[in-house]
Amino acid sequence: MIMRTRRMPPMKKAPQRYQCPDCKAEGQPAKPRSAFYWDRRRRSLYCREHHDKRNAARQAERLDPASPEYDREFHVRRKMAQRSYYRRKLDPTSPEYDPKLHQRQLEAKRAYAKRKKGQA
């Protein structure tokens, strides 16, 4: 063990880097600690970017009725959560009301009606 004295400058440690299997396959270099999810001392196997992509793909499979991974209960719970979110965010009397979201919704409805009217 090296003892530091006043004359010795403090040693700088190189930041620890970790390799994600998907990044390695893509030829990307190792990433810093902040690029991974951590649960106390356990690090996720994949970096945040690839972890999120894998989760999104799995969720899409679980929501697709044509997929063998389709989960009807998950689909119903997801729809309920979305309806609850929009009910809270679009109700002007709600404390979570989001006027910008409400405006975007109204504009989207108008644009859809306009497109539909043009097709008829």
Give pLDDT tens digits for 68-120: 999 999 999 999 999 999 999 999 999 999 999 999 999 999 999 999 888 76
pLDDT at site 120? 62
Residue 24 confidence (pLDDT) above 90: yes
- Stretch 54-77: mean pLDDT, rounded? 95
Residue 2 confidence (pLDDT) above 70: no
User: b/e map of 40-79 (b: 16 or more CB within 10 Å)?
Assistant: eeeeeebbeebbeeeeeeeeeebbeeeeeeeeeeeeeeee
Residue 1 confidence (pLDDT) above 60: no
Closest CA to 34 of 16, 50, 22: 16
pLDDT at site 3? 65
pTM: 0.63
pLDDT at site 4? 62
Angle at which helix 99-119 crosses helix 72-90, to 10 degrees, equals: 110
pLDDT at site 45? 94
Closest CA to 20 of 46, 38, 39: 46
